[in-house]
Amino acid sequence: MNITLEQAEKIITAAKEKSIALNTKMNISVVDSGANLVAFARMDGAWLGSLDISLKKAKTARFFDMNTGIIGELSQPGGSLYNIEHSNGGLITFPGGVPIKNENDEIIGAIGVSGSTVENDHAVAEAGATAL
């Protein structure tokens, strides 16, 4: 299964709405099951440096099929995934990346969000991921 452009646009819309509710500006990336970019939005005034971070968060969430915050916990010194952020051309291992599942609980892609605190990034990503 793979995410469609229509689904990705719906996810971005929900993420933008949550970002507005939190009074923040985000970069939002949605990738398909192969970690290829399907849709992207940079809200007016969002940090330029967060564009790449949002895409890497989405890819990281899809590569390992888990929230990036969980990967971050596992990648601390002494953790089972220590130094994983140096693999795959660079990963992001702090909150803001979330796998996207369809109605059959199959992973069809992932969302990555960056532009605020990691708590806000995660909340906006969750809002997008659960929009389907």
83: tokens are 């130094």
Amino acid at 35: A
Mean pLDDT of the chain: 96
108: domain CATH number is 3.30.450.150
The model's pLDDT over 91-129, given as tens digits with 9 standing for 90+, comes to 999 999 999 999 999 999 999 999 999 999 999 999 999
Assess contact for 26 and 114: CB atoms under 8 A: yes
**40 vs 98: CA distance, rounded Å:** 15
Report the number of distinct structural domains present in the chain.
1
Confidence (pLDDT) at 27: 98
The model's pLDDT over 68-95, given as tens digits with 9 standing for 90+, comes to 999 999 999 999 999 999 999 889 999 9
Q: In terms of residue numbers, what domain contains 57?
A: 5-129
Q: Where are the beta strands (DSSP E) in the chain?
A: 27-32, 37-42, 97-101, 107-114
The residue among 6, 5, 8 whose CA lies nearest residue 100 is 8
Say whether 16 sits in a helix, a strand or coil.
helix
The model's pLDDT over 26-68, given as tens digits with 9 standing for 90+, comes to 999 999 999 999 999 999 999 999 999 999 999 999 999 999 9
**35 vs 24: CA distance, rounded Å:** 26
Confidence (pLDDT) at 1: 81
Estimate to the nearest angstrom the gap between the alpha carbon of 124 and the chain centroid: 9
